[in-house]
Every structure is written in C-alpha cells, then in structure tokens.
C-alpha cells in the first residue's frame, strides 16, 4: 500500500528520479550465504564406491524458493531413499531428515565447516542400539563431491559406513 501512495504522489506532482523510485523488493527468505552452503550438492549424480563400482544415482534439487535441498537416491538394486535438507536460520544449523525403503529415519544436524558440510545424529545399528552417525559432504576441485558416512563402533571409534564419490551426469 505504501508503494502505491508514493507512486500516486509522484504522478500527481510530476516528480521523477530517486525520490519516486520503487522501493527494492524484500530479500528472499532463503537468500543468505548460509542458505547457499549446500548448493554444491544440487544436480544429477552418479555415485561410486572407492573402488569405482556403481553405488547409485542421486537427483538433488532446490525446492520451495531455494529453502530446501531435496535428495532422491536410488541404487537400482531395490534400495532407495530421500532426504530434505534446510538451513535453520533461527538456530544457525543445517538439518537433514533422511527416510528410506528399509524403514530408516535418520535425523542429522550440523554446519558448514569452511570446506565440508558435516551433519551428525543418532540411528539404530543392526542390533537396534542407537549409534552416533556422521555424514560429511566435501566438494572437490574437479566438481565431484565426496560423501563419507561414519558410525561409532563398539570401541567408540569412527568406522566408515559408506564412502561415495558423486560425479555429475550430463
């Protein structure tokens, strides 16, 4: 309404220039630098294990005005899952909710550490014991991304659950 009043006054009095310029639009809700920290992961990817064997494909999009990074992972061997990722500006943390066709619900939180996105949380291991999980996504100079998923073993040390290299598909 305020904009219409200013425009109306400008027209009525024949004013022009900066005094009658339209005010800038408000910034988009998810336009901050922090909201863009996971953009390196957006795209269509072929995922390979460290030995180069095929692990799956991942289709990752930005949705809801760039506020959500949505992942769709498929192995082609009967396993699939997806995650919703977003920056929670109020708490200054990244949040991921992962669900898959095995019934796993994994909730992770963390932040960009300057070179990698590092998110951690808890999920049940094979015996149902809640175990600490950590996933690190690191963009590489060649445009690929390394995803390293680790769990805490019985001795309290980090053990690799999955190590994948994401290469963009055409």
Mean pLDDT in consecutive groups of 10 residues from the start of the chain, 170 residues: 45 54 77 96 98 98 97 96 98 98 96 98 88 97 98 91 96
Domain that holds residue 123: 34-168
Residue 127 domain-assigned (yes or no):
yes
∠ at Cα 134 (144, 145), nearest 5°?
0
Q: In terms of C-beta density within 10 A (0-12 exposed, 13-18 middle, 19 or more buried), how is residue 60 classed?
A: buried
Residue 59 domain-assigned (yes or no):
yes
Residue 108 domain-assigned (yes or no):
yes
In sequence order, the 6+-apart residues with CB closer than 8 A to the CB of 117 are 37, 38, 41, 94, 110, 111, 136, 137, 138
What's 88's domain CATH number?
Answer: 2.40.128.20
> What pLDDT score does 86 carry?
98
> What pLDDT score does 8 carry?
46
Residue 49 domain-assigned (yes or no):
yes
Whole-angstrom Cα distance, residue 130 to residue 125? Answer: 6
pLDDT tens for each residue of 54-79: 999 999 999 999 999 999 999 999 99
How many structural domains are present in the chain?
Answer: 1
Residue 15 domain-assigned (yes or no):
no
Number of neighbouring beta carbons within 10 Å of residue 38: 21
Residue 126: both structure tokens together = 């094979």
Q: Do the beta carbons of residue 19 and residue 9 sit within 8 Å?
A: no
> What pLDDT score does 90 carry?
96
Residue 28 domain-assigned (yes or no):
no
Residue 128 domain-assigned (yes or no):
yes
Which position has the token pair 């991921």?
96
> What pLDDT score does 23 carry?
77
């Amino acid at each position: 309404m305020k904009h219409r009043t200013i425009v109306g006054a400008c027209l009525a009095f024949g004013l022009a220039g900066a005094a009658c310029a339209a005010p800038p639009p408000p910034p988009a809700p998810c336009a901050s630098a922090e909201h863009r920290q996971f953009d390196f992961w957006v795209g269509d990817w072929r995922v390979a294990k460290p030995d180069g064997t095929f692990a799956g494909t991942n289709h990752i999009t930005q949705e809801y005005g760039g506020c959500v990074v949505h992942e769709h992972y498929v192995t082609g061997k009967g396993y699939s899952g997806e995650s919703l990722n977003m920056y929670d500006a109020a708490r200054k943390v990244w949040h991921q909710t992962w669900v898959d066709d095995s019934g796993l619900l994994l909730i992770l939180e963390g932040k960009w550490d300057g070179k990698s996105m590092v998110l951690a949380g808890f999920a049940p291991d094979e015996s149902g014991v809640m175990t600490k999980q950590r996933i690190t996504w690191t963009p590489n100079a060649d445009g690929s991304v390394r995803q390293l998923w680790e769990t805490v073993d019985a001795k309290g040390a980090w053990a690799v659950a999955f190590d994948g290299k994401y290469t963009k598909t055409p």
